[in-house]
C-alpha cells in the first residue's frame, strides 16, 4: 500500500490512497525512510557485480549491505536484520550454501537468491541450492530482472501475519498454505534455473546447435535426476557413450563409478561371469572371487553398449537384476543388493530386435523406459561446421600444428561428405587433416579422398558430390544387392570398400580409417556383400 504525503496535495492532511494492481503485476515500492526500507544483504565477491545489483535494488526502494568476503558475510548474517539475501555460490573459496545450517531462517523465512559468478560453476552445487529451497538462481548479471521478484518476496515475508478471512469455503484452509505455495513456486523457479545451467554445460559436451541436439540436451537434464533406465539409439559414431556419460555426470550418483561395457566384445559364454561375477572355485578357471560389472557400478551407472549383441541366455538374469536390484554371482552362497543405474545403447532398431527374438520383450520394456534417439550427421549437417571447428582446435593444440581454421569451400565440402561413421569419423578426419596440413587454413585439397567415399567425391562447384549425382552407380565390385541399395547405402558401401582397399583388406585398419568399430565394419561387409581380399598386413613403423 503506497501513501501520498500532505505536502504533495496541500496543507490539509489527506487519507492514505491505496494503489490496486493485478496480483501478477509487481509494483515498485515507493522509496521509504531508511529504517522502513527492506534490507537486502549482498554476499558478492565482485565489486562491479555488487555495484550493479545494489543500484538495481536501491531503485526498487531497498537498503543494501555488501560483503565481499565470507567472514564479513557471517558478521552481517549474525545481526539478523536482513529481509532477503543475494549470495554468490562461493565466497573466498567457501560455499555460502553451508550458512543455512548456522542460520536456519535462510530460505525458510528469508528468501535467498543464489548467483553463479561464471559458467564454470558446478551444476551439482546449483542443484543443491535449489533442493535446499533457494528462491531462485541467477547467472552472472544476466538475471537482474529476478531481483524484482526477490524484493516482493522479501517484503511479503516481513509483513506481520494477519488472520485469514473465514468464509464458507475457507473453514478447512490452513495458515501455512500460502507459505507452502510460495516455497513450491520458489523451488520450481530454482529448478528451472538449474536446468538452464545444466543445458549450458551440456552444450560444451554435446556440440551442435540443431533442434535435434537441443532436444537431446533437454531430455538428458530431465532424465538425469531420476533413476529410470535409459536406452540410447543411434548409428555407430553418433556419440551414444558421450550421452550416457552426460546423464551420469548430471545425475545424483555422479560421484559414483561409471562403468562402460561393450557387449559385442564379450566372448561367447562369459557374459554371466563378467556381468554378475563369480565365486572362487565355482568353475575350473575360477581361481579367485571376481566382482561383476553390475556390482562394480554400485552407487553409480552401468553403461551397456551394443545391447543387441547380448546373449539371449543371459537376458532373464539381467531382467531379474533390474526387477530386484540383487546380484547373484556364480557359485556365491548368497545374493548381494546393489544400487546400480542401467543405461543401454544400440545402433539397431530395438523394435526389430524384439520381433526377431534377439531381445526379450519383457527385458525391452525394462530397458526402454526413457528412449533417447541420436540422429546421424546427415540429418543435421548444420552441426558439422561447429564440430569440425572444435576438433580442429583440439588437435591443432595436441599435435602442435599451425591449422587455425577452414576455408568456406572446405567447410562446404565437409558438409557434403557421406560420413557413415558420423561424429567419430568426422573427428578422425579432422585429426588427419590437422596433422598433414601445413598452412593456417584448411582447403579442399587437404581433405583426403578416403573419407569422401572415393576420388572426385569432394568438389568445389555447385554440383553435388560424385556419389550423389543422378546416374552414379556403385563401384564395379558391387554385389547383386547393390543396385537396390538406397543412395546413402551406396555411399556407405563405397566408403567401406575404399577403406578396405587402402588397408589391404584388413578390417582393423579399415575400421580405424572409417572411425567405426570392428563389429560394425564386419556387419556392413556382410550386409553389403563386399568382397574382401586379405593380404599380408604391413608392419607399422616403430
Domains assigned to the chain: 25-158+182-195 (3.40.50.2300), 207-375 (3.40.50.300), 401-528 (no CATH)
The β-bridge relationship of strands 90-91 and 94-95 is antiparallel
Interatomic CA distance for residues 127 and 190, integer angstroms: 8
Contacts 24+ apart (CB under 8 A), 460-463: 460/409, 460/412, 460/413
Comparing CA positions, the residue from 443, 423, 335, 323 lying closest to residue 377 is 423
Task: Give 52's contacts (C-beta < 8 A, 6+ positions apart).
Answer: 141, 144
Per-residue confidence (pLDDT) for residue 121, from 0 to 100: 54
pLDDT at 465 over 90: no
Cβ atoms of 57 and 151 closer than 8 Å? yes
- Of the pLDDT bands very low, low, confident and very high (cuts 50, 70, 90), residue 118 is low
Whether the pLDDT of residue 165 is over 60: the answer is no
Please answer whether residues 448 and 413 qualify as being in contact, where contact means their C-beta atoms are separated by less than 8 angstroms: no
Collapse the DSSP code of 245 into the 3-class scheme (helix H, G, I; strand E, B; otherwise coil) and give the result.
Answer: helix
142-145: long-range contacts, CB 8 A cutoff, minimum separation 24: 143/193, 144/52, 144/53, 144/56
Q: What is the pLDDT of residue 374?
A: 93
Question: For residue 23, what pLDDT is reported?
Answer: 37
Q: Residue 242 — φ and ψ, nearest 5°?
A: -65, -40
Report whether 474 contacts 490 (CB < 8 A).
Answer: yes
The candidate with the shortest Cα–Cα distance to 36, out of 179, 163, 159, 161, is 159
Three-state SS sequence of 284-314: CCCCCCECCHHHHCCCCEEEEECHHHCCHHH
CA distance 324 to 191: 31
| 236-287 pLDDT per residue, tens | 999 999 999 999 988 888 889 999 999 988 888 888 888 988 787 677 666 6
Nearest partner of 322 among 365, 273, 383, 262, judged by Cα: 365
- At residue 530, the 3 state secondary structure works out as coil
SS3 string of 430-474? HHHHHHHCCCCEECHHHCCHHHCCCCCCCCCCCCCCHHHCCCCCC
Task: Identify the band that residue 152 occupies on the pLDDT scale cut at 50, 70 and 90.
Answer: confident
Rounded to an integer, the average pLDDT of 215-234 is 90
**pLDDT band for position 451 (50/70/90)?**
low
The label of the residue with cell 580409417 reads 513
| Separation between Cα atoms, residue 317 and residue 360, nearest integer Å | 12
More confident residue, 6 or 371: 371
Residues shown for the chain: 542
Output the pLDDT for position 346. Answer: 94
Q: Which residues contact 191 (CB under 8 A, 6 or more apart)?
A: 130
Alpha-carbon distance 396 to 419, whole Å? 22
Across 187-196, 238-247, 293-302, 403-412, least confident range: 187-196
What average pLDDT does the segment 66-86 reach? 87
Q: How confident is the model at residue 28 (pLDDT cuts 50, 70, 90)?
A: very low
> Residue 107 is placed in which grid cell?
530460505
The H or E element spanning position 336 is: strand 336-337
What DSSP character marks residue 165? P
Task: Give the highest mean pLDDT range of 153-157, 168-172, 212-216.
Answer: 212-216
Sign of the CA dihedral running 103, 105, 106, 112: negative
pLDDT at residue 477 in the model: 40
Answer yes or no: are the C-beta atoms of 29 and 151 closer than 8 Å.
Answer: yes
Q: Tell me the percentage of the chain whose pLDDT exceeds 90.
A: 25
The Cα 418–Cα 398 span in angstroms is 27
pLDDT at 387: 95
CB 322 within 8 A of CB 362: no
Per-residue model confidence (pLDDT) at position 427: 92
Most confident range, picked from 33-42, 144-153, 312-321, 487-496: 312-321
Please count the other Cβ atoms lying within 10 Å of the Cβ belonging to residue 4: 13
> What gap in Å lies between CA 300 and CA 294, rounded to an integer?
10
Contacts of 160 (CB under 8 A, 6+ apart): none
Select the more confidently predicted residue: 330 or 405: 405
pLDDT at 116: 80
- pLDDT higher than threshold 60 for residue 148: yes
Residue 99 is predicted with a pLDDT of 80
Q: Is residue 444 a contact partner of residue 458, using CB atoms and an 8 Å limit?
A: yes
Structure confidence by residue, pLDDT tens digits, 307-359: 998 989 899 999 999 888 888 888 877 888 888 999 999 999 998 999 999 99
Do β-strands 326-327 and 336-337 pair in parallel, antiparallel, or remain unpaired? antiparallel
**463: confidence class by pLDDT, cuts 50, 70, 90:** very low
What radius of gyration, in Å, describes the C-alpha atoms of the chain? 31
Instruction: For the chain, report the end-to-end CA distance as a whole number of angstroms.
Output: 83
Quick one: which of 109, 94, 108, 104 has its CA closest to 43? Answer: 94
Q: What is the pLDDT of residue 161?
A: 38
User: pTM of the full predicted structure?
Assistant: 0.55
Answer whether 254's CB lies under 8 Å from 198's CB: no
The pLDDT confidence band at residue 480, using thresholds 50, 70 and 90, is very low
Amino acid at each position: 500500500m503506497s501513501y501520498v504525503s500532505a505536502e504533495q496535495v496541500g496543507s490539509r492532511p489527506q487519507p492514505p490512497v491505496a494503489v490496486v494492481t493485478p496480483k501478477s503485476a509487481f509494483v515498485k515500492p515507493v522509496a521509504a525512510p531508511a529504517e522502513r526500507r527492506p534490507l537486502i544483504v549482498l554476499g558478492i565477491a565482485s565489486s562491479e557485480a555488487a555495484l550493479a545489483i545494489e543500484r538495481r535494488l536501491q531503485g526498487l526502494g531497498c537498503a543494501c549491505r555488501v560483503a565481499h568476503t565470507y567472514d564479513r558475510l557471517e558478521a552481517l548474517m549474525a545481526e539478523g536484520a536482513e529481509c532477503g539475501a543475494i549470495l554468490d555460490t562461493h565466497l573466498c573459496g567457501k560455499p555460502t550454501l553451508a550458512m543455512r545450517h548456522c542460520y536456519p531462517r535462510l530460505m525458510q523465512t528469508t528468501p535467498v537468491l543464489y548467483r553463479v559468478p561464471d559458467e564454470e560453476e558446478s551444476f551439482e552445487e546449483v542443484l543443491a541450492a535449489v533442493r535446499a529451497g533457494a528462491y531462485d538462481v541467477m547467472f552472472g548479471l544476466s538475471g537482474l530482472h529476478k531481483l524484482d521478484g526477490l524484493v516482493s518476496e522479501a517484503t511479503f515475508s516481513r509483513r506481520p501475519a494477519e488472520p485469514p478471512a473465514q468464509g464458507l469455503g475457507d473453514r478447512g484452509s490452513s495458515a501455512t498454505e500460502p507459505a507452502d505455495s510460495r516455497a513450491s513456486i520458489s523451488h520450481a523457479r530454482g529448478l528451472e534455473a538449474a536446468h538452464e545451467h545444466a543445458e549450458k554445460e551440456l552444450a560444451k559436451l554435446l556440440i551442435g546447435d540443431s533442434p535435434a541436439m537441443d532436444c537431446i540436451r533437454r531430455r538428458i537434464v530431465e532424465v538425469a535426476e531420476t533413476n529410470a533406465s535409459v536406452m540410447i539409439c543411434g548409428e555407430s559414431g553418433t556419440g551414444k557413450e558421450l550421452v550416457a556419460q552426460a546423464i551420469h555426470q548430471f545425475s545424483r550418483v555422479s560421484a559414483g563409478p561409471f562403468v562402460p561395457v561393450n557387449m559385442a566384445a564379450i566372448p561367447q559364454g562369459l557374459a554371466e561371469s563378467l556381468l554378475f561375477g563369480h565365486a572362487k572355485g565355482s568353475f575350473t578357471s575360477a581361481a579367485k572371487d571376481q566382482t561383476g560389472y553390475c556390482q562394480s557400478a554400485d552407487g553409480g551407472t552401468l553403461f551397456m553398449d551394443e545391447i543387441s549383441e547380448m546373449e539371449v541366455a543371459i537376458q532373464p538374469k539381467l531382467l531379474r537384476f533390474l526387477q530386484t536390484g540383487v546380484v547373484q554371482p556364480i557359485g556365491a552362497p548368497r545374493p548381494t543388493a546393489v544400487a546400480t543405474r542401467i543405461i543401454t545403447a544400440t545402433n539397431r532398431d530395438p523394435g526389430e530386435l524384439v520381433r526377431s527374438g534377439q531381445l526379450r520383450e519383457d527385458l525391452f520394456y525394462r530397458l526402454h523406459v526413457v528412449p533417447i534417439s541420436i540422429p546421424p550427421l546427415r540429418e543435421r549437417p548444420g552441426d558439422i561446421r561447429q564440430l569440425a571447428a572444435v576438433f580442429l582446435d583440439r588437435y591443432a593444440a595436441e599435435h602442435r600444428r599451425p591449422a587455425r581454421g577452414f576455408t568456406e569451400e572446405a567447410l562446404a565440402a565437409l558438409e557434403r561428405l557421406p560420413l557413415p561413421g558420423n561424429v567419430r569419423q568426422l573427428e578422425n578426419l579432422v585429426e588427419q587433416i590437422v596433422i598433414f596440413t601445413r598452412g593456417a587454413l584448411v582447403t579442399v585439397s587437404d581433405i583426403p579422398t578416403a573419407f569422401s567415399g572415393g576420388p572426385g567425391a569432394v568438389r568445389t562447384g555447385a554440383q553435388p558430390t560424385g556419389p550423389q549425382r543422378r546416374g552414379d552407380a556403385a563401384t564395379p565390385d558391387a554385389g547383386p544387392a547393390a543396385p537396390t541399395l538406397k543412395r546413402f547405402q551406396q555411399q556407405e558401401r563405397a566408403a567401406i570398400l575404399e577403406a578396405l582397399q587402402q588397408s589391404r583388406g584388413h578390417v582393423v585398419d579399415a575400421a580405424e580409417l572409417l572411425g567405426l568399430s570392428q563389429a560394425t565394419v564386419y556387419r556392413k561387409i556382410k550386409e553389403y556383400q563386399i568382397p574382401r581380399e586379405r593380404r599380408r598386413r604391413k608392419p607399422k613403423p616403430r
